[in-house]
A and B are shown apart, each in its own frame.
Chain A
Amino acid sequence: MNRLSIELPGLSLKNPIMPASGCFGFGKEYARLYDLSKLGAIMIKATTLETRLGNPTPRVAETSSGMLNAIGLQNPGLEKVLAEELKWLEQYDVPIIANVAGTLTEDYVEVAKHISKSKNVHALELNISCPNVKCGGITFGTDPTVAAELTAAVKEVSEVPVYVKLSPNVTDIGEIARAVEAGGADGITMINTLIGMRLDTRTGKPVIANGTGGLSGPAVKPVALRMVYEVAKQVSIPIIGMGGVATVDDVIDFMSAGASAVAVGTANFVDPFVCPNIINQLPEKLDWLGLNHVSELVGRSHR
């Protein structure tokens, strides 16, 4: 029996661990370090219809136990992602969750229609929460009606289940979660980064060229955990939790709060082997907790 396997809409996961979108490129860099087939899934970098060159540099700034980024959805565009990146990933026995982004509803629909036909794409992750682009992204994720409409529009064309990635930059994340569930979402991924800033103390000017950036890393974990806990109480669709996950204990916490699987983001930059390390440590942690299967962790906090 595989003690770590998890079944989610569209996804048969060997284990509940996956790199988060934007922190793993399209896998090539990490494939030089370990076998990507070890991963539960891979959430690839956000894909837009057209090529995007992203924001000016500096794009990252370190903060206390965290970092800010404003990459700006740099990616080679749908056509190249399909023909090159996803094609290359086919050599690995790992389901892909394709992160879909855009400026207008039509962009999301167009990318979703094509990318969901790809052989190894088993689910979509709708990026309605990127804080670093002027149009699209977070503008879809902060209004429940708009978020639900976009979800419904993408559901209509997608050939695979649709997960919606929520922004923490809202007053009531539960309201958005319930709205996308009503819009037909098959699952929720959360959280994206928190909008933040760092100033150069000498000049008083922002360190990041974009001015603001998205805060990630261990610093955001308590916020992410609280939000997963809240949303788990309000929806019946599964949650893939993320936000500052760096250790196996963090994974246990997110699953206890109600996540069915967990994504690792910024920690990949600190320790490129963090995902396989956590996967290797999970069985021992289950023994320590006296549990047989990782799914027994899900929602422990609420019982």
Chain B
Amino acid sequence: MIRQERMRIVKHKEIAHHIFEMTLAGQLVHDMYSPGQFVHIRVSDSYEPLLRRPISIASINHKDSEFTMIYRAEGRGTTMLSQKQIGEELDVLGPLGNGFPIEEAAPGETVVLIGGGIGVPPLYELSKRLVDKGVKPIHVLGFQSKEAVFYEDFFRELGETHIVTVDGSHGQQGFVTTLLAELQPEFTSYFTCGPTGMLAAIQNMYHDRKGFLSFEERMGCGLGACFACVCKTTDQTEVDYVKVCSDGPVFPAGVVSV
């Protein structure tokens, strides 16, 4: 069920350059079931900025009725969000969208989780769920530079983890695709989230493999009503277009034309 709730900020800190981790408490957490779903946040009670900001869920803690999200303070809205203090309340709409299908990976299988920059967070909850299920994840995470890297240790606790940076200041130098080409990992399916260019490269590189990609697009309502976030589909599907917010953000490989 989708709810709107004023949730309380219980943790909030900068964990990498312009990257913030925020934990929110409230009953809405109990409707979060799928890693890869997102919340739609109103960063101000005024009309500035007007629209909500879609932010992906990084981890879910049902026991304490809390969830954590990680975002980059980049534009006007997320910069305002980064100035919020612990104890303040935020208007949260969610959970929205369809997440990664964990049922597609069977116990004993090895899967590869590929994340780029601010696309890395949803892979954390996904990896935890997969490990709980007995699936072995290999993480391949790409960042701009050493200052932008986050959650490396958390991912290492869950499984094999490889880091690449564009400038080579941490881990290997290059892109996730260069590392994957070198590693040639054995896997049954892949799960990925990151910038569209990265998703396109991965969908091409693994065109004959089973995979699931989480897309990002400029959104309006987040519910599927405004038709702002539509994507063209490939001719492998019957529909002419999909909406990232309500049909996705996660789609099986080959659905979205990139």
Contacts and interface: CB of A to CB of B under 8 A. Distances in A.
* Residue in B49, B217, B220, B246 whose Cβ sees the most chain A Cβ within 10 Å: B220
Interface string B52-83: 10000000000000000000000000000000
Interface in B1-32: 1-2, 4
A268 B50 CA distance: 11
A246 B47 contact: yes
B229 A69 contact: no
B50 A54 contact: no
Interface string A205-223: 0000000000001110000
B52 A30 contact: no
Contacts of A53: 240-241
Contacts of A66: 47, 50
Interface in B108-125: none
B225 interface: yes
Contact of B51 (A33, A51, A269): A269
A91 interface: no
A278 B2 CA distance: 20
B218 interface: yes
A1 interface: no
A65 B46 CA distance: 9
Given A268-B221, A269-B220, A272-B4, A217 B47 contact: yes
Nearest to A267: B50
B159 interface: no
Interface in B200-220: 217-220
Interface residues of A, number: 36
A74 B220 contact: no
A32 interface: yes
A202 B168 CA distance: 27
A287 interface: no
A273 B4 contact: yes
A53 B217 CA distance: 17
Nearest to A60: B228
22 contacts: A22-B226, A23-B225, A25-B227, A29-B246, A30-B223, A32-B1, A32-B2, A57-B218, A57-B228, A60-B220, A61-B218, A65-B48, A66-B47, A67-B220, A71-B227, A74-B230, A218-B50, A266-B50, A269-B52, A270-B42, A270-B52, A272-B221
User: Chain B interface residue count: which class?
Assistant: 20 to 34
A242 to B, nearest CB: 16
B225 A268 contact: yes
B241 A65 contact: no
B93 interface: yes
The secondary-structure label for the interface of chain B is loop
A71 B50 contact: no
A172 interface: no
Chain A interface, DSSP helix/strand/loop, else mixed? loop
A71 B228 contact: yes
A247 to B, nearest CB: 10
B2 A33 contact: yes
A64 B48 contact: yes
B224 interface: yes
Contacts of B231: 57
A33 B225 CA distance: 13
Contacts of A22: 226
A145 B123 CA distance: 59
B218 A272 contact: no
B94 to A, nearest CB: 11
B103 to A, nearest CB: 23
B50 A67 contact: yes
A57 B228 CA distance: 7
A271 interface: yes
B51 A272 contact: no
A270 B228 contact: no
A99 to B, nearest CB: 14
Given A57-B218, A57-B230, 17 more contacts: A24-B225, A25-B225, A30-B223, A32-B223, A33-B2, A53-B241, A60-B219, A60-B226, A61-B218, A62-B50, A65-B47, A67-B220, A69-B220, A74-B230, A217-B50, A218-B47, A272-B221
